[in-house]
Amino acid sequence: MANIRDVAEAAGVSVQTVSNVINGRPFMRPETMQRVRQAMAELHYQPSRVARGMRRQSSQALGFLLSDPNPRGLADPFYGEVLAGLSSVTRAHNYSLVINYLPSLPRSGDFLTPFETRQIDAAVVFISGIAARQTAVLRELVRSSHPIAVLEREVKGEHAYSVLAANYEGARAATQALIDAGHRRIAFLDSVQRWPSIDLRRNGYEAAMRDAGLGKHIAFLSGPDWTAEGGGAAVERALSQRAVKTKPTAIVAASDVIAVGALLAIKARGLRVPDDMALVGFDDFEFARYVDPPLTTVRLPAFEMGRRAAELLLNHLRGMPADERRVVLPTQLIRRKSS
């Protein structure tokens, strides 16, 4: 692999001259710049982003720092949507995007390392898991004074932003739609692995039920994880254990992934959706419209969350911090044929 000295020798210039070209220093002769760039191309030389960042005090890169207890968590469509939103901004501004994925709750140092080694200038952060266990990590990140934008969790700090979705309102609207359709025994489906955004969805469901005088019918079905299999197992258990008169006639699922598992479990019991049991998801992932029947769901603006987080951070790095450090994006109930 070619190094900077090889480039200098091929171009007939000094190592410092090659460095000046790489870092865009002014007052370079055009013919010299052309020789250096041609040598770099012929030798397939790629300057080290980290080394350049240490010299320039900037890496020209944003990080996406996340943890998820599910070992296949990165395959979740939510992360794909967020990454698409992030990359739409980083590409437009010639920034790189660095992903640091940890399958378990990180220590504070795990997320500080990319900053300290100057791999990134700022980071979008998403941490799954119980809120109390996230607090120490987020507190340390805020104290570090590195620019961060935290998804689905509120933080406060001079260099910190929060980008949230209206989870409470979305779940409440979904539950109210089922109540308006005549359902009374409505259950909420989630997982034993919960975090603040899911708690808000639970709260929205409960509020709609209590306001409608249906508090006695509040019921929670929890699977072991956030997979379709986990959602299916929770619904199968509920359908097999409950008497016909106490079984839910509708389910609000906390994600589209577990909603698909619920759909399969309901059909496996010989029940029809929505005639025998209605179902509403949460996310509006691409596949939601293609299942049978197409899934009524709450649209979570994951792409927009990633895009807004990246914009906030890049503006912050340019000395234009936003006055409003807390951004809440609306959710929307998308009505299809499962309810």
Co-location of 231 and 154 in the same domain:
no
pLDDT score of 239: 92
Domain count, the chain: 3
Reported as a single tens digit per residue, the pLDDT across 78-122 is: 999 999 999 999 999 999 999 988 877 667 677 888 888 888 999
Residue 312 amino acid letter: L
> How many C-beta atoms lie closer than 10 Å to residue 144's C-beta?
17
Tell me: do 236 and 172 sit in the same domain: yes
> Do 253 and 195 lie in a common domain?
yes
Domain range for 20 is 4-47
Q: Are residues 263 and 193 in the same domain?
A: yes
Report how far residue 280's alpha carbon sits from residue 177's, in angstroms, rounded to the nearest whole number: 10
Check residue 54 and give its pLDDT: 46
CATH code for the domain of 22: 1.10.260.40
**What pLDDT, on a 0 to 100 scale, did the predictor assign at position 181?**
97
Q: In the chain, which residues have pLDDT < 50?
A: 50, 53-55
Residues 305, 199 contacting (CB under 8 angstroms): no
pLDDT at 57: 61
Which CATH number is 270's domain given? Answer: 3.40.50.2300
Give a yes or no: residue 336 inside a domain. no
* 232 in the same domain as 85: no
At residue 161, the pLDDT reads 97
Please tell me the pTM assigned to this model.
0.80
198: in domain: yes
Contact 293, 338 (CB under 8 A): yes
Q: Based on the domain organization, do 160 and 306 belong to the same domain?
A: yes
Which two three-digit tokens encode residue 85? 């939103």
Closest by CA position to 121, among listed 53, 176, 68, 74: 53
311 & 269 share domain: no
* 74 shares its domain with 221: no
